[in-house]
Amino acid sequence: MEAGAGLESRPVALGPRLAVWREVYAAKGLRLVAPGDGEVPEAAARIADIALDNAQKFVPPGGTVTVTLADGVLRVTDDGPGLSEEERAEALGRFWRSGTHANVPGSGLGLAIAAELARACGAGLALRPADPHGLTVELRLP
């Protein structure tokens, strides 16, 4: 990442990528609501993968994750437990893990990698609360 490897800006179709995630979500009893298609830079698609991977870990069965792409903003919103304001402020750091997620597999690097990818491609990445609960990973493309 820091050397700039793998930061191609070529457009990637979201449809086929999301089709794979739909299968993962269905196997876990989750619902994925997503656009049929759309193109984003490779780095944005990788960030979406990170957000979708996190959501499938933390959203309980029966939950929903929604992906939207409009006006240069890619959002992955879930209806899981979400993160507190303090946790959202820290979650983009390397090796950060919520105390409530101690039993969930992972290294705490996913969102840190997403933040680096966003910076490298000139995008803005933010974690926002979802209403009434959950988390939105918001990527503003340049």
In a domain, 5, yes or no: no
Q: How many domains does the chain fold into?
A: 1
In a domain, 97, yes or no: yes
Tell me, what's the pLDDT at 108?
72
Tell me, what's the pLDDT at 38?
87
Residues 6 or more apart whose CB falls under 8 angstroms from that of 137 comprise 47, 50, 51, 54, 75, 76, 77, 111, 114, 125, 126, 127
In a domain, 66, yes or no: yes
In a domain, 25, yes or no: no
In a domain, 3, yes or no: no
Residue 142 has pLDDT above 70, yes or no: yes
pLDDT tens, position by position, 127-140: 999 999 999 999 99
Tell me, what's the pLDDT at 3?
45
In a domain, 20, yes or no: no
How far apart are the C-alpha atoms of 56 and 65, rounded to whole Å? 8
DSSP 68: E
In a domain, 2, yes or no: no
How open is the CA angle 50-131-33, to the nearest 5 degrees?
A: 50
pTM confidence score: 0.88
pLDDT tens, position by position, 14-68: 999 999 999 999 999 999 999 778 899 999 999 999 999 999 999 999 999 999 9
CATH of the domain at 49: 3.30.565.10
Range of the domain at 42: 32-140
User: The tokens 């939950």 sit on which residue?
Assistant: 63
In a domain, 7, yes or no: no
